[in-house]
A and B are shown apart, each in its own frame.
Chain A
Amino acid sequence: MIVFGDTAIDRLLQWLRASGEPKDVRELLVQYLEILSKLVMEESE
C-alpha cells in the first residue's frame, strides 16, 4: 500500500538532508515521485 505523502518520506528526508540546502516544493515533488516510482518497481521485481 502506497500512501502519497506518507510512504517513503524517510527516503525523501534522506535525500533532502544529503542535498544540504532547502529545496522548493516542486523539486521535492519530482524527487518524491522518483522515489515512489523506484519503490513500485522494486516491489514488483
Chain B
Amino acid sequence: MTATTGTLADEVWRLMTAQGILFAVDAPIRQTLQNLVEFFVARWQRDPESVRAELEAALAADDRFTREEVNGQVIFVTSRQGRYVPRDTTDTHTFKQRLYEPEKPLPIDDLSVVVSTSRPAITTVEPVYISDYWIEQARLIAAAKAAEQAPVTEEPAPVAAASERAPVIAEQPVVEAVPPVDAEPAQVAPVIAETAEVIAEPVVAAEPVEAAPAPAQVAPAERSTILVVDGMAIDLSRSPAEIVAKYGPALERILAERLEQDPLRRIVSFGRMHYPEASLISFGKNDLRKIRDYILERNEPLLDTEIIADLYYHNPRQSDYEGFRFSLNYRLSREKDFEFVGVEGANVWSTKGLPAIGSKRVKAAEMGQLTAYLIEGFDDSLADQSVESIVTSGSVTRLLTFFEWEFGVLPLDAALAALLPKPVFPDQRSAVLRFESPQHFSTYLVEVRYPTGNRGGWLQGLEDFFREHLVPGALITISRSEAVNVFTITYEEASETTGRLLTLDEKKNKFAFANMTFYCAVDEDLLPEQNRYGKLRNLKAFPMGERRKAEMILEHVCETMGERGGSREQPVYRVAFADIFMAYNVLRPASRSFLLALLANNPAIAPDPAAEGVYLFTPPQVETEAEVAEEEEDLPIQPALRRRSGRYIEEDE
C-alpha cells in the first residue's frame, strides 16, 4: 500500500464510518463503488475511470475493506472497528444439553424418580418441566422390561406361529388384523392399551412349534388402532368426528379430568374452555382490588365483558381479547373474594359486600328447607308442560301462590329448571339472571339458588314486581330471550278488578284482608278473597323456622280451614283439599303431590268417605285436668297452674 492509496483508503474509511456512526462497532457498513466514484469525481474533477481504478486499488490493498459483488455491483464493506467480521451465532453453552441429555444417564425405573411426588413445604404449585428425553427413557425402559419378561423361545417360524407363542407388548407390531370398530373390547386384543402389560391374544397356530433358544422373530405387521379408554374401545383409524359423535361426552370428561390432574398444569380450564397456562395474562392484587371496587360501585354483579371494557378498555376485535377474558375469569375463579354467579355463555361475577338480591325476610337456609319437597320427589310441575315443550317453546307458565307473591320467590321446580340455565360448576351455589318486564319496561335482578344435598332450589328477587303488578293467583309466563342470562316475565292483563284480598300485616304479624285493585287475569281458586277464603285470616303467621315442620303446618291448616264437627271433647274438622292447598301455600310453598302424601301419611287425617277430595282431621285428644293431676302426683312441686290446664314454663315467658 502506497502513501497515496493509504490516504485514499483512510478517507473512504472515515467517510463510511461517519455514515454508520450510530451502528454497532461490529456492524457491517456497506457502500457501493459507484457511489464512491461519483463522490470523488465531483470532488477532484477527474475522469471517472481513473478514479474508479484508483479507488479499487486503494481499497483492495487495505485490510479494513472487504470487496463484495452483488448483482454485478461492487460493494465495499467495513465496520467501525475495522475489518468486518460476521458475528458468530453458534451457542457454545452446552449446559442445557448436558442437563437434559446426559451421556451416562442415571438408571430410572419410572418417572417418579425424576419428578418427586412428595408435597413441598410451601403449598404453592410449581410447574415441573420433564424433558422429552426422560419421558422417552422411561418408555424405553418399560418396553425393555416387558420384552425381558416375554418368554421368547421359539425358532424362526412362519408369521402365524411366531405370533402364537410370543406375547407381544403394546408397542410392538402385531400380526392380528385390525378388529372392527364396534367390536367388544373383551373379544378383541386391544393392542394400544392404557397399561403396558396388555398382551395380544394368541392366535391359533397351524402346527405346534418346538421351543428353541433362538431369539423371537416378530414379523412386521399392521398395527392395531384400537385404544381402550375406561372400557371404551376407540378406533383411532376412524375420523375424530365419528368418535366424538359416539363417545363425545365421556371422552370430554376424561380428557378434562386428566388435564386437571397433569402435575405440570400445562393446560388450565374455566368451565368448558381450556387455555395454556403459560399464555395466561397476569392479574395482580391491584387489579383484583380495582375489579372489586368497580363491582361494588355498580352495586350489582357484573359480566366479565363489562369489567374488561370498562376497566381495561379491551376491545373484542383485539386478537388477544379471548385470551385476556379467559385469564380474567380464571384468575377471579381462584379468588375467595369473588363468586361466580354466571351461566354458560355469560360469566357474571359477584363480590363480598354487594347487597343481597331478594327479600331478607326469608333466610336461604329456611328457604332451602321449605323447598326440600322438590328434592324428595314431590315435584308435579311437569304435569301440565313437558320438558320438551318447555325447551321448544322457551317459556314456562305458572300460577302464583300467596307465599310466592308475598316474598317474591319461586320454587325451582322441574319446569323452571328445564327453562333456566344449569350451573357451570358442580359447586356453584347460585346464578344471577336479569328478568325484564316488557309490559312495564322494568328490569329485576333474580338470583337462582340451585339445589344442594337435600335442600331445594328457588328464585328470589321478584318481590317488587309481584307486589306492584300482580296478586296471588295471577298467571305468569317466564320466557327465554336471546341473551342466555336475560329472561322476560309477563302476565295476562285484564280489566280493573277490586277485591278484599289476604295480606300479611307485618307489624302485627297477622293475616288480614284489605281492598286491592289489580289488572291481571287470575285463577279464582288461588285468589285469596275474603268472600271465599275468609278463614285464612285465622292462620297463624309462624316464624319461618317453624314453617319447615310440614306436618305441624298441615294440622294447623286443617284446623283453621275446616268445618268443625264432632263433640266438644273430640272435635273433627272437615276440610276440602282445595282449601288445604290454598291455605298451605299461604304459609309455605308446596305441590299438590306433596300435600297428598302428607295427608296420606298423617294418622289424624283420613279421607271423607262421603265426598271425594274432602278430608277429616281429628286432632289428638288433649289431656284433661284430672288426668294431668293424676300423672303429676308423684312429680316434684311444679309452678302454678295456668288457666286451661297449661303450666307456665320458661318458654312461655
Contacts and interface: CB of A to CB of B under 8 A. Distances in A.
A13 B274 CA distance: 10
B546 interface: no
B323 A24 contact: no
Contact of A25 (B139, B255, B276): B255
B323 A30 contact: no
- Give the residue among B222, B227, B256 with the most A Cβ atoms within 10 A: B227
A31 B255 CA distance: 12
A9 B272 CA distance: 18
Contact of A17 (B222, B227, B237, B278): B278
Interface residues of B, number: 51
Interface string B257-280: 111001000110110111110110
Interface of B: 132, 139, 142-143, 170-171, 173, 192-196, 222-223, 225, 227, 229, 234, 236-237, 240-241, 243-244, 248, 251-252, 254-259, 262, 266-267, 269-270, 272-276, 278-279, 319-320, 322-323, 325-326
B259 A5 contact: yes
Interface string A34-45: 101100100110
Interface in A2-44: 2-6, 9-10, 12-13, 16-17, 20-26, 28-34, 36-37, 40, 43-44
A24 B320 CA distance: 16
B279 to A, nearest CB: 6
Interface hub of B234, B259, B262, B269 (most chain A Cβ within 10 A): B259
Contact of B274 (A5, A16, A30, A40): A16
Contact of B192 (A2, A21, A31, A33): A2
Given A1-B196, A28-B274, A44 B244 contact: no
Contacts of B227: 2, 4, 36, 40
Contacts of B257: 5
Contact of A22 (B229, B236, B274): B274
Contacts of A37: 225, 236-237, 240
5 contacts: A13-B267, A22-B323, A25-B269, A33-B251, A40-B192
Given A1-B195, A22-B273, A40-B192, 8 more contacts: A1-B170, A1-B193, A5-B254, A22-B275, A24-B273, A25-B274, A30-B244, A33-B244
B244 A4 contact: no
A29 B236 CA distance: 13
Contacts of A28: 255, 267, 274
B159 to A, nearest CB: 16
A1 B139 contact: yes
B142 A44 contact: no
A11 to B, nearest CB: 11
Contacts of A44: 173, 222-223
Nearest to A21: B322
Contacts of B259: 5, 9
B320 A33 contact: no
B132 A26 contact: no
A19 to B, nearest CB: 9
B257 to A, nearest CB: 7
A17 B170 contact: no
Contacts of B325: 22
A38 B270 CA distance: 28
A31 B244 CA distance: 11
B226 to A, nearest CB: 10
B192 A23 contact: no
A26 B132 CA distance: 27
Given A9-B259, A37-B237, A44-B223, A29 B244 contact: yes
B258 A4 contact: yes
Nearest to B278: A17
A33 B142 CA distance: 24
Q: Which 3 A-B pairs have the closest CB atoms?
A: A5-B258, A44-B223, A33-B240
Given A9-B267, A10-B132, A32-B255, A20 B278 contact: no
B322 A22 contact: yes
Nearest to B273: A22
Given A17-B279, A25-B256, A34 B139 contact: no
Nearest to B256: A25
